[in-house]
Structure 1
Amino acid sequence: MTNKLPNHRTEGSASAEPLLLGPSLGTSLALWDAVAPELAAAHRVIRWDLPGHGASPAGLIGPGATVGDLAALVLDLADGLGVERFAYAGVSLGGAVGLHLAIHHPERVSSLAVICSSSHFNGAGPWEERAAAVRAGGRAAMAELAGSADARWFTPGFTVDRLVQDHREADPASYAACCDALASFDVRERLGSVRVPTLLIAGREDPATPPAHLREIADAVPGASLTEIPGASHLAPAERPEAVLAALRGHFTGFARRGVAVRREVLGDAHVDRAQARQTPFTARFQDFISRYAWGEIWTDTTLTRRERSMVTLTALVAHGHLDELAMHVRAARRNGLSVDEIGAVLLQTGVYVGVPAANSAFAVAQRVLAEDGDV
């Protein structure tokens, strides 16, 4: 690692899928101590420190820094480690970095988890004031902020001494520059452009980024899901690591993620993109159900081949008269390897066991779709 890169720690197999973990302002990669080793069982986990925090050098960013500047450091780190595409999870400022990456560099991010964070941080004023106070007060100001860290970070009676000490020892200039980044961050108008599988995790007792902030992101990002953790404040991975770990495992290695991939393979990117673009808060849970159950559990079961599943699906859709769905699955059947003659044979079979009128309507739909695609 050169002094132009943030400090980092790598855990897990070098051949596993990379997962980058981003920190919150004032903390170090120790924020992930209770979670990262477990995630490393299935991922190449890469934790990183903010500039001037933990063991990262100061001076990587300066006054007027943006979240984009921090995201550029993360990409430099990934490049330095030979990581082209990665999953990403981040807390607070680290979560903002993840949103920036998903919006501006979607080709680098395979999936995203945003924890106790926001698409905006309540306006620039408070952060500008904090940055000015730290620049003026230096180490004394950092000690004062560290003295109130428990109230900002944890529920009453809970603390992690290591993280409070990290706050106290953070470089004042770098800390102030990170405050500048929070002050200028607002991606509310860009959330709809996020297309990677996204999980939002909220601490139900978080005063800094309340659940409403995470809900706002979940409602705007197509296909996103939200998990609220009771008894957690702002640093949920430190305070409720088991709950955070379960949510992250389900998101990064679970059925929902596999389901989205299979759905795209069978139905095509254009269809899935349209479905996600039409998603509303009202339909979001149903879309998540489809991804997890239909595509993540059923279509990934290897007992039947995808060709066989297409045959069964065509028959069922004809039987129930779901002709709009039938058109979509005629295309899916071609993508899954069925020939035009095989599709015709399936529909002919339905004429015997479902009925001639149903088969007649099905042949009309299939003829239209196959003609549109140049297959007949």
Structure 2
Amino acid sequence: MTDKPLNHRAEGPTTAPPLLLGPSLGTSYALWDKVAPELSVAHRVVRWDLPGHGGSAADLIGPGATVGDLAGLVLALADSLGIERFAYAGVSLGGAVGLHLAVHHPDRLSSLAVICSSAHFNGSRPWEERAALVRREGLAELAKSADSRWFTPGFTVPELVADHRDADPGAYAACCDALAAFDLRDRLSEITAPTLLVAGREDPATPPAHLREIADAVPGSSLTELAGASHLAPAERPEAVLAALRGHFGGHASRGMEVRRQVLGDTHVDRAQARQTPFTARFQDFISRYAWGEIWTDPTLTRRERSMITLTALVAHGHYDELAMHVRAARRNGLTPEEIGAVLLQTAVYCGVPAANSAFAAAQRVLAEEDGSQDSPA
């Protein structure tokens, strides 16, 4: 055994809330390549490698290792970085480490996300057999089936498959020993950290039923199932995983969604969320994170002032559908019809009378709906 800490990569401001990310068996911290940089906008993200994987030393664990041993290495890493309390997300074996931390070290965990993982891994025998196979023959043959175990048909991440092939066989087998011995089903009700479960609907290794079992047992937890995702969801569906983690761990996106609802109303936001697709998910996240999570939350200007600026900008560019939405928002932010009219009159001077005329028409329709006024503009 060595005192060297787990190999890791830290991203994001050192003053931001810490978030540790754990990998799946056979992968490195590259599993998080499409998620970690975005999470680091609002968190100090630390992703780590399992022993014998990526850059972590193989002799950090040995035969008969347990998930508790791996959790101890994660705590030692956190200690070495001066991190006392942290949020945690992990995939598969990394998720099992998170569950162990939540049960045995609740004082260290502020919140938890368990992704494509389980409170047990279908008994000890399959893992004992795999450990024996790897100790005897190495990882080359097992790595050939990685795609079918990890991804939906036709999808692959060559770098992760290479990580599987290049892992240290002894350390990999020790991780199999840990999975063989792991079963926390009778302790799940003790978990107090806010917990999110994320399942891949096409995951053959830890099917959604495994995540539902945890969700049913952990008080106050929530479950998200991802279509089109197999076992390594952060690599295959990074946008969906990112949105789920942002919503759970907080930061600009969750605060932004709260402000977005306050200003635009639940009906509008719910409609926008219902129309969201994998193609538009990243754009919706962008809006919540930057427009609503950073700009609209800046205390330099009041919401009334921001509404007036927004109305002017929308008139200037002729975005009259958006203008109608923001007339409603302006009313929620406390502007009277007279103040809205004064803003639009100002646009007549600087944006042109035709633009202002169209703007008055759009605004009048909204005000008529809300206030019962029947007058129409010129």
TM range (shorter): 0.5 to 0.7
Q: In 2 relative to 1, CA 131–16 (structure 1 residues): closer, same or farther, beyond 3 Å?
A: same
Partner of 1:182: 179
Q: Secondary structure at the match of 2:58?
A: coil
Partner of 2:210: 213
1:155 aligns with 2:115: no
Indicate if the aligned counterparts of 1:203 and 1:210 stay in contact, CA closer than 8 A: yes
Indicate if the aligned counterparts of 1:95 and 1:115 stay in contact, CA closer than 8 A: yes
* Number of aligned positions between the proteins: 256
> Pick from 109, 129, 144: which aligns with 2:141?
144
Report the AA paired with residue 30 of structure 2. Answer: A
- CA separation in 2, counterparts of 1:254 and 1:167? 33
Indicate if the aligned counterparts of 2:42 and 2:251 stay in contact, CA closer than 8 A: no
Partner of 1:201: 198
Aligned-residue CA RMSD in angstroms?
1.8
Partner of 2:32: 32
Q: In 2 relative to 1, CA 192–229 (structure 1 residues): closer, same or farther, beyond 3 Å?
A: same
1:165 aligns with 2:162: yes
Query: Which aligned pairs between 1:12-161 and structure 2 lie closer than 5 A?
Result: 12-138=12-138, 142-161=139-158
How far is the alpha carbon of 1:4 from its aligned partner? 2.2
How far is the alpha carbon of 1:219 from its aligned partner? 0.3
Q: Secondary structure at the match of 1:227?
A: strand
Q: In 2 relative to 1, CA 237–256 (structure 1 residues): closer, same or farther, beyond 3 Å?
A: closer
How far is the alpha carbon of 1:180 from its aligned partner? 0.2
Query: Deviation per CA, 1:95-130, whole angstroms, max 9, x where unpaired?
Result: 000000000000000000000000000000000000
Query: Deviation per CA, 1:248-296, whole angstroms, max 9, x where unpaired?
Result: 00000079999xxxxxxxxxxxxxxxxxxxxxxxxxxxxxxxxxxxxxx
Q: Which runs of 5+ in 2 are unaligned?
A: 256-296, 298-378
Partner of 1:241: 238
Partner of 1:354: none
Partner of 1:9: 9
Indicate if the aligned counterparts of 1:28 and 1:54 stay in contact, CA closer than 8 A: yes
- CA separation in 1, counterparts of 2:203 and 2:251? 27
Indicate if the aligned counterparts of 2:246 and 2:254 stay in contact, CA closer than 8 A: no
Q: In 2 relative to 1, CA 257–125 (structure 1 residues): closer, same or farther, beyond 3 Å?
A: farther
Indicate if the aligned counterparts of 1:197 and 1:257 stay in contact, CA closer than 8 A: no
- CA separation in 2, counterparts of 1:112 and 1:197? 6
- CA separation in 1, counterparts of 2:4 and 2:122? 31
Indicate if the aligned counterparts of 1:51 and 1:58 stay in contact, CA closer than 8 A: yes
- CA separation in 1, counterparts of 2:140 and 2:211? 30
Partner of 1:309: none
Query: Deviation per CA, 1:192-241, whole angstroms, max 9, x where unpaired?
Result: 00000000000000000000000000000000000000000000000000
- CA separation in 2, counterparts of 1:218 and 1:255? 26
Q: Secondary structure at the match of 2:60?
A: coil
How far is the alpha carbon of 1:137 from its aligned partner? 1.1
Q: TM-score, normalised by structure 2?
A: 0.66
Q: Secondary structure at the match of 2:171?
A: helix
- CA separation in 2, counterparts of 1:256 and 1:9? 23
- CA separation in 2, counterparts of 1:106 and 1:196? 7
Partner of 1:352: none
Indicate if the aligned counterparts of 1:204 and 1:231 stay in contact, CA closer than 8 A: yes
How far is the alpha carbon of 1:12 from its aligned partner? 0.1
Partner of 2:222: 225
Query: Deviation per CA, 1:39-61, whole angstroms, max 9, x where unpaired?
Result: 00000000000000000011100
Report the AA paired with residue 211 of structure 1. Answer: P
1:192 aligns with 2:189: yes
- CA separation in 1, counterparts of 2:33 and 2:114? 18
Q: Secondary structure at the match of 2:71?
A: helix
Q: Secondary structure at the match of 2:152?
A: coil
- CA separation in 2, counterparts of 1:49 and 1:167? 12
How far is the alpha carbon of 1:154 from its aligned partner? 0.0
Query: Deviation per CA, 1:13-38, whole angstroms, max 9, x where unpaired?
Result: 00000000000000000000000000
Report the AA paired with residue 10 of structure 2. Answer: T
- CA separation in 1, counterparts of 2:6 and 2:252? 33
Query: Deviation per CA, 1:168-193, whole angstroms, max 9, x where unpaired?
Result: 00000000000000000000000000
Q: Which runs of 5+ in 1 are unaligned?
A: 259-300, 302-376
Indicate if the aligned counterparts of 1:3 and 1:57 stay in contact, CA closer than 8 A: no
How far is the alpha carbon of 1:5 from its aligned partner? 1.0
